[in-house]
Structure formats: structure tokens, C-alpha cells
Structure 1
Amino acid sequence: MPHSIFTSEFRPALGLRNRHVQTLLPRLLPRAPLSRRTEILNLPDGDFVELSWVTSDGNSRREREVELSDDAPLFVLFHGLEGNLESPYARDLLNAAARLGWRPVLMHFRGCGQSPNRLPRAYHSGDTADAYWVLGEMGRRYPHALKVACGVSLGANMLLKLVAEQGGDGLDLAGAIAISAPLDLAASSDVLNQGSSRLYQRHLLKSMKAKVAAKLANGPLPISIGAHQLTQLNSFWAYDNEVTAPLHGFSSASDYYSRASAGRLLRDIELPTLILQSLDDPFMPRDLFSRFPQPSEAVRIELSERGGHVGFIEWRRGRLSSWLARRITRQLTDWSALSHSRQRHSVQQETL
């Protein structure tokens, strides 16, 4: 096994080992309470993204504003395909960071917040520009705060691509976390077009096509199909070839998948990066990591035999709960402690 790949500590409870159970169960569990403040952040091209700032730690029945200093650590979350603040993993991870005293914020990709975005284009798995802009803005607002970014599914692939592109000093981040990243987009599209995984494909395509249909109703788009042809697109390959690619400057779905997939870039990552993945993920092939070059030493990959796609539900303290939230809590705590240790060492060196 490569030096960067480790066996995950995640163990599902008996009866919860099936990959589809793990994938769907988070949607059936009670949602953690969450209070948020929405910010519209304008982008250089005239569009915008919505930021959701978590303003309570989810522990109290009465929502209360959490007062944080400007140097409080910052946790930035990037959601998955067609996700948003209501996604179960988003609430779990943001609340976990808030309970640690961090400042949590979710960036909605274009069109995934409460309002449709302004431009014909939307977002895609390799679109790093908006995240780069948001992280730069966070650096300007909170220059002295420790910052960690976390991506889930599509957001995880995007984040890993961004981290690889920017090198060790190109982002004001102490670390990055990627959960269930579809690192080979073509392979994931193939898997999602087979067997029971088609149910996930159908669900996601329904949401994506509805957004494009609404834009078509308001005026023409730079794509070659109309509203009727849009309804006939029944696979990610077809949708990405006819919609995603032309809207975002790719020649075809194959071109998009090749250029946007982050797996080939794992060897270029210099920032401390944790990747959490399950071998039974119904969104991707089991041999995913064998397809890529050896990751860099900055990357730690934790593979679990089970867990589904962004599932990782465990039985703990008499109830079902998110192992992801527990694992991310430990990682944030470790990076925070390491940062404080380095700061103390730097102060000691300066006084000598």
C-alpha cells in the first residue's frame, strides 16, 4: 500500500453496512439545528455566490449569536453536486466546527443558494476560480486566523484541484479536507450509469435540468439544445456533453472530465491534505486510487471498506451519528494545536 494510504477507523454498526444504506441514511436522520446569516459575495465577472455563516453552535434550543474574535479559526466548506446548507453533511460538519469555537462558513456554488445566479454559466467539478476568490476574501478579512477548507463530493474534487494548482504557499490555508471526492469524473459517470447507482444519477440530473430549463425559459443560452432535448438527457455523459461543456468552455464531456478531474494532480499537492474515502462508494469505482500517480507526502488518504457516498454513519453513545463530524473535529483540533505550537516556537525564537 502506498505510503499515503491508511486504513480508516470508521466501522459501521451491524445492519448499516450496505453502501446504499450508508449513502441514504443521513437524509433520514434528524437534522441538527442551525442558525445562519446569509451574505451575497459579488464576483469579478458580475455574478455572485451566497455565503452561509453559522451563527450558533447547535447545542442550545434557543439560537444565540456566537461572538468570535477576528483571529478565531475559520472553517470553509464547499458542498457537493446540487448541495446546499440543507445537506445533512453540511449541518453536521458546520456545527462540529462551531462547537470547537471555529468560525464556520459554507460557500454555495453559483445557483445553489436561495437565488439563481445571474449569468448563463453555473458551476462544475473543476471550477476553482470562485473558491479561490472566496478564500482570498477570507484572507483579507481575517489575516491572522487559522483557516481550513473542506470539500464534499464535487466540492472535494474542486478543492483538491485548487490546492494542487496553487502550491504550498498559494492559499492562506493550514490544511484541506476532501470527503468522497470523484477524482476520476469519467469513471464516476460510468459507474453512475450502471445498476442501482442510476437512481442517484436520475435524482441529481432532475435538479440540474430544472435549473437549466428555468434559464432557457428566460432567454437563450450558449448551448445547442432546447428545452425538449434537455429533458431527454438521461446520463451525466449526455448532460455534461450538451450542457456543462459548452457553458464552461470545454469541447466535450470527455474534455471536461479530463481537465477537471483532480486525481492526476494528487502528486502535486504541497498543503497538508486529508482525503476520506470508502471503497464501496456507489458513485465511483472501487479501484479509484490505483488509477493515479503516487500522491505527494503532504496527502493522507484514509480508506474505509464501507461508508457509501458521504455516509459514514456510526452507532455511538446509544444513537446513530456522523463519524465524519467526529473525524473532522479531531483533524481541526490537531491542526489548531500544531498551529499554536508553531506560534509559541516562533515567539521563543524571536526572544532569544
Structure 2
Amino acid sequence: MGYSLGGNVLLKYLGESGSDSPLQGATAVSVPFRLDQCADRIGQGFSKVYQAHFMREMLAYIKDKQRQFQHDGRHEGLATLAQLGPLTKMRTFWDFDGQVTAPLHGFADAQDYYRRASSRYFLGQIRTPTLIIQAADDPFVFRHSLPEASELSASTQFELQAKGGHVGFVDGSLKHPGYYLERRIPQWLAGLDRHG
């Protein structure tokens, strides 16, 4: 099971593994299939609020790592982080992934990382039974970032819900909320168990 970026990683793995995947089934929810387009989307409209929050969290994580390396005397780790340069001017995912993610993980730049790490290019090779659940109103994913049916393998079931936001999928009322994912995913997995 993978949610958001974890869903992207899972789907890419399944596509790369093809028939060699040891998994008997998989589910992915609110997947950013095209990381470049999602980095653009989160920088628009109200989604900027989420971007600002994530940027604070990611930069705080880097600072925590620096303190940990300093405390533990891990000079190699400190030197690696120092090579990233000043982090104070980063405001967007493009900034962070270009200055931090790409160099730390062997990518040429943010665009190279986004292209090579996006699951959309691997969906047709998935051979493991897979359920993908997306919401049309996801504030992180453009509608045009969603895959076309022709891009999906026969092993993949794609469900697009009108509402659900990003990993929300709450229905019902405030007094009696319902949680679609808590119903749908076990139902789908139980069907796999019966037919697998």
C-alpha cells in the first residue's frame, strides 16, 4: 500500500519489476504520477499553503541532520550537506529538489529527478494486480497529470473519485463521517484473496 509519494514509489517499483514482483497485490492512493507537474501544481493557488508547510518541514529535517552529524562527529555527512550551499532561499519543490534531492541522490537536476522517478512512465509494465484510487479535486495533482486508460496495464484498476482531496476521501456528515479508503481497500484486497 502506498499513499502520495509512497504510492508513486510503489507503482514505479511494480512497473520496473513487471512479472518479477513478489507482491500478490498492491494499492496506491493520491499518487503524484508526474512529479514535475505536481511540483508545479503545489505552487499554485491555495496549494501554496501546503508547499510552504512542506518546505518548512523539509528544511527543518536538513537542519536536524546537520545538528545530528555535528553531535556525532560525522564530518563526512556535514561536508556533504555543506556542499548543498545555503538553503535559506528555497521556496518551492523545484528549488528543494534541484538543490537537495538531485545532488544527494545522483540526479543531474530537479528535472532529471522528476523524469526518472515519476511512476507514470512505468504503469504499462505493471503485472501485479493493483488498485489506484485518485480524487479529481486533489490539490497536488493536475487532472492532466492523471494517466490515460491506454497507459495502464491490464493488471491495474484505476478509480477516479469526484471528491477526496489528497488522501482524504471522507464522506458522510460531520457527526457521522465515513472513510472511503477504509472500506474500499479492504474490500478490494478481500476480492484478491478470493480470486488469487
After TM superposition, the score normalised by the length of structure 2 is 0.89
Is 1:193 the counterpart of 2:63 in the alignment?
no
For the 8 Å contact 1:266–1:293, the answer to whether it is kept is no
Q: Which residue of the partner structure matches residue 224 of structure 1?
A: 83
Q: Which residue of the partner structure matches residue 332 of structure 1?
A: 189
For the 8 Å contact 2:107–2:113, the answer to whether it is kept is yes
Q: Which of 16, 19, 35 is matched with 1:165 structurally?
A: 16
Q: Which residue of the partner structure matches residue 7 of structure 2?
A: 156
> Structure 1 residue runs of 4+, over 6 Å off?
none
The one-letter code sitting in structure 1 at the alignment partner of 2:18 is: G
- The alpha-carbon distance between structure 1 residues 307 and 331, as it changes in their structure 2 partners (threshold 3 A), is same
The one-letter code sitting in structure 1 at the alignment partner of 2:27 is: I
Q: Which residue of the partner structure matches residue 119 of structure 2?
A: 262
For the 8 Å contact 1:223–1:242, the answer to whether it is kept is no
Shift of 1:291: 6.7
C-alpha distance in 1 between matches for 2:147 and 2:57: 32
Richer in strand (by share): 1
C-alpha distance in 1 between matches for 2:62 and 2:150: 36
Shift of 1:171: 2.3
Question: What is the SS of the residue equivalent to 1:297?
Answer: coil
Shift of 1:222: 5.0
Q: Which of 198, 201, 208 is matched with 2:58 structurally?
A: 208
Q: Which moved more, 1:304-313 or 1:152-161?
A: 304-313
Shift of 1:290: 5.1
The one-letter code sitting in structure 2 at the alignment partner of 1:235 is: T
Shift of 1:183: 0.3
Shift of 1:223: 5.8
Question: What is the SS of the residue equivalent to 2:108?
Answer: coil
C-alpha distance in 2 between matches for 1:195 and 1:278: 18
- The alpha-carbon distance between structure 1 residues 311 and 298, as it changes in their structure 2 partners (threshold 3 A), is same
Q: Which residue of the partner structure matches residue 74 of structure 2?
A: none
C-alpha distance in 2 between matches for 1:293 and 1:242: 35
Q: Which of 296, 304, 307 is matched with 2:161 structurally?
A: 304
Question: What is the SS of the residue equivalent to 1:283?
Answer: coil
Larger radius of gyration: 1
Richer in helix (by share): 2
For the 8 Å contact 1:209–1:230, the answer to whether it is kept is yes
Q: Which residue of the partner structure matches residue 320 of structure 1?
A: 177
The one-letter code sitting in structure 1 at the alignment partner of 2:10 is: L
Q: Which runs of 5+ in 1 are unaligned?
A: 1-149, 340-352
Shift of 1:231: 2.4
For the 8 Å contact 1:267–1:295, the answer to whether it is kept is yes
After TM superposition, the score normalised by the length of structure 1 is 0.51
Q: Which runs of 5+ in 2 are unaligned?
A: 71-77
- The alpha-carbon distance between structure 1 residues 230 and 292, as it changes in their structure 2 partners (threshold 3 A), is farther
C-alpha distance in 1 between matches for 2:166 and 2:21: 28
C-alpha distance in 2 between matches for 1:328 and 1:315: 18
Shift of 1:220: 2.3
Identical positions, percent: 40
Q: Which residue of the partner structure matches residue 234 of structure 1?
A: 91
Shift of 1:293: 5.3
Q: Which residue of the partner structure matches residue 11 of structure 1?
A: none
C-alpha distance in 2 between matches for 1:162 and 1:220: 31
> Per-residue CA shift, 1:157-199, capped at 9, x if unaligned?
000000011112x222111101000000000000011111011
- The alpha-carbon distance between structure 1 residues 272 and 291, as it changes in their structure 2 partners (threshold 3 A), is closer
Q: Which residue of the partner structure matches residue 143 of structure 2?
A: 286
> Per-residue CA shift, 1:251-308, capped at 9, x if unaligned?
1000000000001111111111110001111001012235785211111100012111
The one-letter code sitting in structure 2 at the alignment partner of 1:220 is: A
